[in-house]
Amino acid sequence: MRAFNTALGWMNAASVPENASVEGESILVGGVSVTIRHAGRVVGRGTSFERACERALAEAMREALRDAAARIPLAADDDMRAAQLRDAALTLELAGPLTPIAPDAIADVGTTLSPGIDGVAARLGQVTEAVFPEQMLLAGMDARGALGTLAGVISGSPADGLRDPGRVRRELGVSFLSFRTAHIAQARPGGSPITLYRGSRVPTTGSMDFAELRRMADGIAAHLVTRGASRERSDTRRLGTPGTYLPVGDRFETESAPASEQALVAIALWAHAQTPGTPVGAAAMSRAAAEQIVSDLIVVEPGEMSAETSPASAAVVSVAIRRIAGSEPDSSKSRELLARCDGAVDAWATAFLTRSHGSAPESREIGGEAGLVAWALSERVAHLRGEQERETERARASRLVRDVYLAVPGARLAAQMPWLAWADAALTPSDGQVPSASALAQLRETAWAFQLKPADVGLDGSDLVGGIVLSSGGAALPTWQSLRVVTLAAWMLGDARLTSPSEVVPEVSRLLGAMEFLRRLAADESTCHMYPSPSRAMWGVRVATWDQRMTPEASAMGLIAVSEVLSSVARIADRSPSSSTANGGENR
């Protein structure tokens, strides 16, 4: 912290004394990286690999100030220069020892080095170049990609960056090294310094309570609403929700997200508006945004694809229309869109049921759209008015649900969740046992068995605790995808047919752990120190704690998950004896 305060003083003065020193005992470092941000954007960066901290810090700050002066010319007048620098924020990374990467380990650095925690360096003769952990977070780069970049930089030949780092080591004599840093930054200009872990606040466990759950739900909902309001008022196109948000560059990958993701955002916002305890103003904001998204889906602007072009997209859009606009939307164009989506869903269901006649199709033939189609069919059944038609469609949808369960074994069911479970429950009378109850209980237990605990991750992954890894592809770290089974468990919690009274307390404990992981995925003030537009990025759910991209789907699933936890807890409270007494003996 002394080094940070010293560097901050130099930055504010826009100069480094010739005989610069750091107050206190001199320490040795592996290297120093200084980053200056102005108006949220990186304008200056400097590095040094001097061993003495004071010399390295001074050298890095001089380089960063030269860089910043070229991008934001500083006024000669002392008062004006001080006013300019008040809009600047500082980030400091102090590297520990630079440890050589063994030649036989170079090929595996992408998995052995922790993204956003380990930095990498390359040394050729007396020259050392490095990519510090925060640079890797900003660039979405893993250690192997960083080594390739360094190979091109240190050799002076960009082509070397495309070659295998191991080959570069052998042919050019480049040494590759890894290191870890102490990472300190100002979240905003003039703010107090914050110690960071993988670019965000140092994670803690046991800090999640129901007040924080409500704050998180409202925050993610506000982020999703803000995404839709990000365009210029003069833009009259009906593009709905934008695509993936790249907070480091404050831009969206596409002007419009796929229809399936837009519809999921609308469903998530609608769920937030219906969640018990949601403030009236926040509920109204979410409800209005959900209605606007559904309205915008009707219009297919140039460059957009119509919702019925895929069964998965048609399924989610049909659910969104029925939930938000009702079974008979006011607009004729809404009814036309719903009919087209129903047609695409029916076509897929018919083909699936025909193919599975006599025997269930193999698991590899079934994609994630199966659960979504089942969900869409169950939603349609719930809105049918004619009893005979309703029962005919219920039987058809139930058969599809059963065939999917038979075809997809064990943990692979996670790819169909929570949609398939919601379909099964919706097709079952409220006083009847959910047919898939046993399979769902087993899947939930499997998921919790793969929920990461502190002992599983050690010091390298404390921000991953509570996440779940269920991928058959060998993924070692949890991402937003674990929210699918978390949402399932959160919904099961509130259904007495799926969670017995004796299971409630342990389930709540596990879910709170999962909600802590979600909270770490959602950008907070410390995470936003890396972003030019903190207000737009705040509460956006990132793809992973080391991957800054914010997809509409990730934030939507995060909002649905936390809303399901809150709704389930409310349902349990309504069933409790004290609640029944308070409500005149009625069990709501």
**495 and 561 inside one domain:** yes
Identify the CATH number of the domain in which residue 97 sits: 3.30.1490.150
Query: For residue 93, what are the β-bridge partners?
Result: 33, 183
Domain presence at residue 587: no
Confidence of residue 582 (pLDDT cuts 50, 70, 90): very low
What's the domain count of the chain?
2
pLDDT tens across 512-526, in order? 999 999 999 999 999
Query: Per-residue pLDDT for 160 more than 70?
Result: no
431 with 577, same domain?
yes
Three-state SS sequence of 211-223: HHHHHHHHHHHHH
User: How many angstroms separate the CA atoms of 271 and 480, rounded?
Assistant: 19
d(CA 9, CA 15): 9
User: Which two tokens mark 233?
Assistant: 């008022």
Residue 588 lies in a domain: no
> How confident is the model over 305-311, as a mean pLDDT?
90
Together in a domain, 167 and 275: no
Q: 189 and 216 share a domain?
A: no
Domain enclosing residue 165, as ranges: 2-200
Computed over every residue of the chain, the mean pLDDT equals 88
Q: Which of 190-194, 560-564, 574-578 has the lowest mean pLDDT?
A: 574-578
Instruction: Judge if 347 and 432 occupy the same domain.
Output: yes
Residue 553 resides in a domain: yes
Q: Is 32 helix (H, G, I), strand (E, B) or coil?
A: strand
Burial 502-536, CB ≥16 within 10 A → b, else e:
eebeebbebbbbbbbbbbbbbbbebbbbbbbbbeb
Q: Token pair 């480049």 is at which residue?
A: 174
Q: What is the CATH number of the domain that holds 460?
A: 1.50.10.20
314 within some domain: yes
End residue of a domain, out of 181, 200, 219: 200
Residue 235 has pLDDT above 80, yes or no: no
* 191 and 215, same domain (yes or no): no
Per residue in 390-433, pLDDT (tens digit) is 999 999 999 999 999 988 877 789 999 999 999 999 999 888 89
Distance CA 285, CA 279 (A): 10
320 and 264 in a common domain:
yes
- Report pTM: 0.91
Let me know whether 217 and 307 are in one domain. yes
From 200, 223, 243, the end of a domain falls on: 200
* Residue 304 region by backbone torsions, left for phi larger than 0, else alpha for psi between -120 and 50, else beta: beta
Name 47's bridge partners.
33
The phi and psi torsions of 192 (rounded to 5 degrees) equal -70, 145
Q: Which residue has the higher pLDDT, 474 or 482?
A: 482
Domain boundary among 200, 234, 254: 200
d(CA 491, CA 425): 11
237 and 153 part of one domain: no
Token pair belonging to 134 = 């925060």
